[in-house]
Chains A and B, each alone.
Chain A
Amino acid sequence: GQQVMQIPQYQHVQEGEDFTTYCNSSTTLSNIQWYKQRPGGHPVFLIQLVKSGEVKKQKRLTFQFGEAKKNSSLHITATQTTDVGTYFCAGNTGTASKLTFGTGTRLQVTL
């Protein structure tokens, strides 16, 4: 079945450093969504990418969708303690009726 892997599984940075998480699929994705889960909270939608090579920005967050639509990345510039949490990507092949979530990347930011 479709698999969506994320790396790294965990990253610890100091405030002000950059952070990137990568999402890789074994199959081509029709679209990809990103979610953030704060510690003790529930996943919350961040953004959706649809087009090959698409890049979207939300303040310090930059999201990219690969040209082959098999991978995606989330880059955070100058992390803050408010960025702490687990980031999930979720995608589908377009033929299935469900979205497959990645394994998640847990980000820890310290002062």
Chain B
Amino acid sequence: EAQVTQNPRYLITVTGKKLTVTCSQNMNHEYMSWYRQDPGLGLRQIYYSMNVEVTDKGDVPEGYKVSRKEKRNFPLILESPSPNQTSLYFCASSLYNPSSGNTIYFGEGSWLTVV
């Protein structure tokens, strides 16, 4: 089954404790990205990757890191989480750049709370 899998789905952590949210897709998609969803703000892009070893900042990259060592994986790293990073995070993938009209497939979401 074609899917985007992210883990963990739910996490409560403390300020400053590094964490990684993993994301994996099995559709051989070249494009992957991370979004955060907050009430009234919609979906905002954090980082995206056009292909292996190619990453770029989205609209809200501060406080986050990503890597794309393999085509299928695109982990999101919070080196020193802060409470304002409490949010619902979505990993997503697309065959190619979605700005060219390719459909985006989203993971199930990861609820992150930083206390």
Contacts and interface: CB of A to CB of B under 8 A. Distances in A.
A45 B102 CA distance: 10
A104 B42 CA distance: 6
Interface string A36-69: 0000011111001010000000000000000000
B40 A99 contact: no
Contact of B97 (A6, A35, A97, A103): A97
Interface of A: 1, 6, 9, 30-31, 33, 35, 41-45, 48, 50, 88, 90, 92, 94, 96-104
Most buried by A among B42, B56, B101, B103: B42
Contact of A101 (B35, B56, B97, B101): B35
Given A9-B40, A42-B108, A44-B106, A50 B101 contact: yes
Interface string B44-80: 1100101000001011000000000000000000000
Contacts of B35: 101
Contacts of A98: 33, 45, 48, 58, 98-99
B104 interface: yes
For the complex of A and B, 10 pairs with smallest distance between CB atoms: A92-B99, A101-B43, A103-B42, A42-B106, A45-B103, A99-B98, A104-B42, A31-B101, A43-B106, A101-B42
Contact of A96 (B44, B99, B104): B99
A42 B101 CA distance: 19
A80 to B, nearest CB: 23
A99 B90 contact: no
B43 A43 contact: yes
B41 interface: yes
B104 A97 contact: no
A35 to B, nearest CB: 8
B42 A42 contact: no
Nearest to A32: B101
B51 to A, nearest CB: 11
Contact of A103 (B40, B45, B56, B105): B40
